[in-house]
Structure 1
Amino acid sequence: MNDRPEQERAAQATLMSQQGVDLRICVVGNGCVPDIVPAGALTVALETNIGIPGGRNAGAQALAEASRPDQASYLFFLDNDAVLPTDDALARLIAEAYQHPEAAYVQPRLTGPDDVTTPRRWVPRLRAGEPGRPGTITTMTEGVVLVRRNVFDALGGWGASLFLYHEGLDLACRCWAAGWTGWYAADLRMHHPVTSPTRHAPFHRLAARNRITVAYRNLPRSLIPLYLGNWAVITLARLLRHGGTHESVRGMREGWALRHAQTRRPMSWQTVWRLTAAGRPPII
């Protein structure tokens, strides 16, 4: 959105410095024409801001159209305020994908610029107090993630209607439902400013709305009330400490009112079992 020029330059510089990989880059302007574009990169200038997942889909589509028939094997999504701290980060991330062929996506450990601080919300699994422990994961941190291109295309990409928040959970659910897993490469770090999601005005509303949307799209019908009941309790506890009650209630109302507009592709009970065996039953 051309609102972070210094961070944009830093993100692109670390991307262009990567060694051992063949990169095809697309910069997406969400409601703008991108001001900062590396030499040889594609650009997509969306007339309006269609949200982060929709913007990512537009970039992936542009790369697909420009690369036919020689498609890349992987898509790497990088937010414009994140950086790759070493010039072999992408090569190492792809090596992790080769070592874990069952994983549709590979997630590095996201830290602050100090290479140490990892907020709990950035750890894509339960037991978030151990961010340095690698393993199978059932969700993802969307801003720095590697996804197999064939899986991404087969699943239809990111859930664009979510606009912002929980699109990684939605895509991860669909990956697992299709028989894949995810892998957390905790030994591989990438950097992001340590900020609060509440800096975005619609956080409380969209987070609450999208929880309902993701549950209604992906869960067996009998698990939806259990999942949403758990998250209602968690949300209430957080609101008592941090505020945002009015917007969260508004988001819940929106999500519930719009639930029947969603395309339901509920996961099988076999997938429920696989998620549970991986340490995250889909009621948490």
Structure 2
Amino acid sequence: MRHPRVGVAVLTMGTRPAELAALLESVAQQDTAAARVVVVGNGSPLPALPDRVTGVELPENLGVSGGRNAALAALRDFGDVDVVVDLDDDGLLISPDVFTRLVELYGSDPRLGVVSFRIADERGRTQRRHVPRLRAADPMRGGLVTTFLGGGHALSMRMLEETGDWPEPFFYAHEETDLAWRALDAGWKVRYEPELVLRHPWTSPTRHAVFHRMVARNRVWLAKRHLPAPLVPVYLGLWIALTVARTRSATGLRAWFGGFAEGLRTPCPPRRPMRWTTVWRMTRLGRPPIV
């Protein structure tokens, strides 16, 4: 991929028109212009969009996964995008060279599948949960990792042709890990680049009403879809212990166990266990697929 062409995908529910306008302006100010920009109204009408921005209005909210797949479909229809950049609608690109750096990264490594941005607030702080590695004390330490951040990242379209798109049944939570595990098992690289920054307000994941239920349900689905059979009880047992230790809300804990039970009793095919060589590769990268 000598000169990869960048496309941009943004999901919105129509509640942040000012933030969306600022984000699109920061995209337009990039030194390397995006070939396409698609904004998906996820079950909501879209505001007026700048010229050369394509709007897609979905009749219902399909969640993060479904909305991003709708954006991918629109970009594929154009046929001139090699790398898609997903950005949160309340984020902001604060440097004009983000796409230039992405073109360099993808142009120099044909097996680079995912590039994860660093998420930082207005004061430059990065939350520990936004560092895609277990040792999260230093958010400036980049390199190869085993998952990536949903708020700002880039995906190789060639990789997606091989791995498939976002897991629509997930709706919200762990969809990035599902895609990252598929990418790693297919031999693609996932890289965290802390110099590529998306400014984003400091938030808590529990602001979403369905957080606890979907986090638990989708974690069970991850295990059922991707882990070798001996690792499934290890992974789920460890996350039960971690959740009980960390969750301070009895209501949240009840919702979590309700979601866990939902994940156990409902299927989320296909089941394609990763190879043991992938398990070892992830272990060497610092995060075996049990935590």
- Name the CA shift for 1:117/1:269 in 2 (closer, same or farther; >3 Å): same
Conserved 8 A contact 2:221-2:268: no
2:264 equivalent to 1:264: no
Which residue matches 1:163? 171
Q: CA deviation at 1:242?
A: 8.1
Once residues 179 and 48 of structure 2 are traced to their aligned partners in structure 1, the CA distance between those partners, rounded to angstroms, is: 29
Q: CA deviation at 1:100?
A: 4.2
Which residue matches 2:6? none
Q: Secondary structure at the match of 2:39?
A: strand
Which residue matches 1:274? 281
Once residues 99 and 136 of structure 1 are traced to their aligned partners in structure 2, the CA distance between those partners, rounded to angstroms, is: 15
Which residue matches 1:3? 15
Q: CA deviation at 1:87?
A: 1.4
- Name the CA shift for 1:242/1:35 in 2 (closer, same or farther; >3 Å): farther
Once residues 32 and 56 of structure 2 are traced to their aligned partners in structure 1, the CA distance between those partners, rounded to angstroms, is: 26
Which residue matches 1:126? 134
Once residues 100 and 125 of structure 1 are traced to their aligned partners in structure 2, the CA distance between those partners, rounded to angstroms, is: 22
2:74 equivalent to 1:45: no
Conserved 8 A contact 2:111-2:189: yes
- Structure 1, 22-31 or 168-177: larger mean CA deviation: 22-31
Structure 2 alignment gaps of length 5 or more: 1-12
Matched residue type, 1:274: R
Conserved 8 A contact 1:104-1:180: yes
2:82 equivalent to 1:73: yes
Once residues 127 and 277 of structure 2 are traced to their aligned partners in structure 1, the CA distance between those partners, rounded to angstroms, is: 32
**Of 165, 174, 184, the match for 2:182:** 174
Which residue matches 1:95? 104
Q: CA deviation at 1:181?
A: 1.7
Give the 5 Å matches for 1:1-284: 1-65=13-77, 67-68=78-79, 71-114=80-123, 116-240=124-248, 244-258=252-266, 260-284=267-291
Matched residue type, 1:146: A
Q: CA deviation at 1:187?
A: 2.2
Q: Secondary structure at the match of 1:172?
A: helix
Which residue matches 2:8? none
Matched residue type, 1:112: D
Q: Deviations over 1:18-59 (max 9, x none)?
A: 112343011101112211422122111111001011101101
Structure 1 alignment gaps of length 5 or more: none
- Name the CA shift for 1:95/1:227 in 2 (closer, same or farther; >3 Å): same
Q: CA deviation at 1:80?
A: 0.3
Once residues 129 and 107 of structure 2 are traced to their aligned partners in structure 1, the CA distance between those partners, rounded to angstroms, is: 27
CA RMSD of aligned residues (A): 1.5
Once residues 201 and 218 of structure 2 are traced to their aligned partners in structure 1, the CA distance between those partners, rounded to angstroms, is: 24
Runs of 4+ in structure 1 off by over 6 angstroms are none
Conserved 8 A contact 1:100-1:183: no
**Alignment size in residue pairs:** 279
Q: CA deviation at 1:184?
A: 0.8
